[in-house]
C-alpha cells in the first residue's frame, strides 16, 4: 500500500504549480468481521476500503475533498487529477482562512505493528470450544488499518497496525456479562481465564437481585468501567482550545485549587502502538506525554493551530481529520492492588463491571453522570451477595480520581477502539481497576 500511495502522490504533486500546495491523508483497512450468536458463527464479512483525503491550498485558502481508491492505477490517477481540478475551481469561491497555515515538511517515517494471533479459522475454533456451553453473542475483528500523511513539501509518514479484538457478551436469559479481549499477543491461558471468570460472573447473576437506595457506597470499578469514565477526558476536558474558549472541567486542577490523588497518573503513551505516531498534519507526537502526573495537571493537549492562536507551545495534538485535541493512546498508570485481593479490600460495597451513558452533568465542576450496566454486584464482607438493579451515579472527577481513590489494580487492561461506523478507527486506552472509598449514586 505504501508504494502505491507514493506512486499516485507523485503524480498529483508533479501536477502542481509553484503557488499550490497539496496534502494527502490516507485511511485504509483490510478487515475481517466474524459475528457470533448463540456461540456459533452467523456472519463472516471482509471489508476492504482505502480513503484518500485531499487538502488543497493556495492564496491563504484551503479546500478539502475525499475519494476512494480502487487500487486500479489508471482509474485512481484519473480520479485524483479530476478531484484536484475540481478543488482548483472551487477554491476561489471561499474566503481566505484566518487560521491558514502553509504546509511544512515534517519529515518521513514508517511504523508497522502486527499482533501475534492464530489464523482466523483457529480463533473461531477456540471461541466455539471455550463457549460451547454458553449463549454467546459478539464479534471478532482483525486485519490491518493504515494511516498516512504526506504533502507536496516532501513529508511522508506511514503507519500500519494489524490488530484484533473480540467484543462479546454471554447470556443466561435476560442476564448478561460482558467481555473484551485484545492483546498484542494472543495468549490461550489468558483467554481461557477470562472465559472462566466471565462464566463465574454470569452464575453470580442468578442470585436474587437487590435494590439499593440512593446514597454513597464503597465501590470497585473494573477496568471496563474505568475506561468508560476515563473516556470523558476526550470530551474536551484535555483540549487546550476548549479551555481557552471557556469549557474548562479541569480549571481547578490547572490552577492547583484542587488536585487528584497522588496515586493517579494519566499519560498519552504512543509507545503502546494503538494509534499512529503522527497527527493528520503529519506532526510527530511525543513518545510519552504526561497529562496528569501524581494528581497534578502537567499538560493539556495542544495542537499547532491552538498554539498559534493563543501563543502557546504545541505538543502536536491533532485538530484535523482524525481527532480534536483528545487522547489517541491514553494510559492510566497501574497501582498496587492485587486481583485476588479486590473483594477483600472492597469489604462491603459495590462491584461494578461495566458502565454506560457517561456524560457531563456539570462540566465546569468536572461532574459526570452515568449508569451501571452489565454484571454489577452488592458485596458484603468480601463476598458477592447478589446483582443489583441499575443505579445512576453523579460524582466529580475530583472525587473519583482524587479524594476517594483508595488504590488502582496492579494489572491493567487494553481496550482498542471498536468503532466501525463507516470505517474502523485506530486508538485505544489502557487502564487498571480502581477502588474508591465512596461513590455517589442518585437514582
Residue-wise pLDDT tens digits, 334-349: 999 999 999 999 999 9
The verdict on 303 and 382 lying in the same domain is: yes
Q: Is residue 54 one of the residues assigned to a domain? A: yes
Provide the pLDDT for residue 322: 56
CB-CB contact of 391 with 385 (8 Å): no
Comparing CA positions, the residue from 99, 101, 426 lying closest to residue 276 is 426
pLDDT of residue 285 exceeding 70: yes
Helix (H, G, I), strand (E, B) or coil at 193: helix
Q: Is residue 174 one of the residues assigned to a domain? A: no
pTM: 0.93
The verdict on 299 and 420 lying in the same domain is: yes
Helices (H), 66-216: 73-90, 120-130, 188-204
Domain limits at 114?
1-119+141-165
Q: What is the mean pLDDT of residues 379-386?
A: 98
Q: Is residue 127 one of the residues assigned to a domain? A: no
The verdict on 280 and 405 lying in the same domain is: yes
Q: Is residue 197 one of the residues assigned to a domain? A: no
Provide the pLDDT for residue 324: 82
Choose the weakest-confidence range: 86-100, 294-308, 319-333, 364-378. Answer: 319-333
The verdict on 160 and 212 lying in the same domain is: no
pLDDT of residue 189 exceeding 80: yes
Give residue-wise pLDDT tens across range 10-26. 999 999 999 999 999 99
Count how many domains the chain has: 2
Q: Is residue 199 one of the residues assigned to a domain? A: no
The verdict on 1 and 99 lying in the same domain is: yes
The verdict on 150 and 225 lying in the same domain is: no
Q: Is residue 356 one of the residues assigned to a domain? A: yes
Give the pairing of strands 108-114 and 156-172. parallel
Cα–Cα distance for residue pair 56/86, rounded to 1 Å: 10
Provide the pLDDT for residue 321: 55
The verdict on 229 and 89 lying in the same domain is: no
> What string of DSSP letters covers 74-99?
HHHHHHHHHHHHHHHHHGGGSPPPTT
The verdict on 271 and 155 lying in the same domain is: no
pLDDT of residue 441 exceeding 80: yes
Q: Is residue 159 one of the residues assigned to a domain? A: yes
Give residue-wise pLDDT tens across range 307-366. 999 999 999 999 865 568 999 999 999 999 999 999 999 999 999 999 999 999 999 999
Q: Is residue 179 one of the residues assigned to a domain? A: no
Helix (H, G, I), strand (E, B) or coil at 146: strand
The verdict on 364 and 231 lying in the same domain is: yes
What proportion of the chain, given as a percentage, has pLDDT over 70?
A: 99
Find the length of the chain.
443
The verdict on 161 and 247 lying in the same domain is: no
Provide the pLDDT for residue 42: 96
The verdict on 421 and 371 lying in the same domain is: yes
The count of other CB atoms within 10 Å of the CB of residue 215 is 11
Q: What is the mean pLDDT of residues 281-299?
A: 96
**What confidence tier does 56 reach under pLDDT thresholds 50, 70, 90?**
very high
The verdict on 97 and 212 lying in the same domain is: no
CB-CB contact of 87 with 65 (8 Å): yes
Choose the weakest-confidence range: 89-98, 156-165, 254-263, 399-408. Answer: 89-98
Cα–Cα distance for residue pair 279/323, rounded to 1 Å: 8
Q: What is the mean pLDDT of residues 252-259?
A: 97
Cα–Cα distance for residue pair 30/162, rounded to 1 Å: 9
Amino acid at each position: 500500500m505504501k508504494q502505491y500511495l507514493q506512486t499516485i502522490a507523485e503524480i498529483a504533486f508533479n501536477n502542481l504549480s509553484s503557488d499550490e500546495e497539496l496534502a494527502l491523508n490516507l485511511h485504509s483497512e483490510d478487515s475481517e468481521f466474524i459475528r457470533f450468536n448463540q456461540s456459533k458463527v452467523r456472519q463472516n464479512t471482509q471489508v476492504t476500503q482505502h480513503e484518500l483525503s485531499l487538502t488543497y491550498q493556495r492564496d491563504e485558502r484551503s479546500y478539502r475533498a475525499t475519494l476512494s481508491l480502487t487500487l486500479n492505477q489508471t482509474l485512481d490517477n484519473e480520479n485524483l487529477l479530476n478531484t484536484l481540478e475540481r478543488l482548483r475551481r472551487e477554491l476561489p469561491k471561499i474566503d481566505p482562512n484566518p487560521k491558514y497555515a502553509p504546509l511544512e515538511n515534517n519529515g518521513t517515517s514508517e511504523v508497522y505493528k502486527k499482533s501475534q494471533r492464530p489464523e482466523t479459522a483457529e480463533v473461531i475454533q477456540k471461541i466455539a470450544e471455550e463457549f460451547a456451553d454458553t449463549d454467546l453473542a459478539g464479534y471478532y475483528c482483525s486485519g490491518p488499518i493504515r494511516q498516512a500523511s504526506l504533502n507536496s513539501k516532501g513529508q511522508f509518514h506511514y503507519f500500519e497496525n494489524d490488530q484484533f479484538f473480540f467484543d462479546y457478551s454471554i447470556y443466561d436469559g435476560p442476564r448478561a456479562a460482558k467481555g473484551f479481549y485484545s492483546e498484542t499477543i494472543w495468549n490461550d491461558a489468558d483467554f481461557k481465564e477470562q472465559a472462566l471468570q466471565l462464566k463465574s460472573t454470569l452464575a453470580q447473576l442468578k442470585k436474587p437481585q437487590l435494590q439499593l437506595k440512593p446514597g454513597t457506597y464503597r465501590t470497585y470499578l473494573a477496568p471496563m468501567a474505568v475506561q468508560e469514565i476515563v473516556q470523558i477526558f476526550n470530551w474536551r476536558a484535555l483540549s487546550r482550545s476548549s479551555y481557552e474558549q471557556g469549557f474548562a472541567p479541569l480549571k481547578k486542577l490547572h490552577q492547583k485549587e484542587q488536585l487528584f490523588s497522588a496515586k493517579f497518573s494519566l499519560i498519552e503513551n504512543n509507545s503502546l502502538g494503538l494509534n499512529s505516531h503522527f497527527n493528520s498534519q503529519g506532526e510527530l507526537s511525543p513518545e510519552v506525554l504526561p497529562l496528569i502526573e501524581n494528581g497534578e495537571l502537567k499538560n493539556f493537549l495542544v495542537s499547532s493551530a491552538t498554539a498559534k492562536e493563543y501563543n502557546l507551545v504545541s505538543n502536536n495534538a491533532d485538530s484535523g481529520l482524525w481527532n480534536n485535541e483528545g487522547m489517541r493512546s491514553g494510559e492510566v498508570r497501574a497501582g498496587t492492588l492485587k486481583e485476588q485481593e479486590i473483594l477483600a479490600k472492597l469489604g462491603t460495597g459495590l462491584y461494578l463491571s461495566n458502565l454506560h451513558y457517561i456524560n457531563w452533568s456539570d462540566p465546569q465542576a468536572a461532574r459526570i453522570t452515568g449508569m451501571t450496566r452489565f454484571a454489577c454486584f452488592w458485596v458484603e464482607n468480601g463476598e458477592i451477595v447478589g446483582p443489583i438493579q441499575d443505579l445512576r451515579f453523579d460524582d466529580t472527577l475530583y472525587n473519583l480520581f482524587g479524594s476517594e481513590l483508595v488504590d488502582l489494580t496492579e494489572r491493567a487492561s487494553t481496550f482498542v477502539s471498536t468503532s466501525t461506523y463507516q470505517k474502523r478507527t485506530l486508538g485505544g486506552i489502557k487502564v487498571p481497576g480502581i477502588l474508591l472509598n465512596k461513590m455517589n449514586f442518585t437514582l
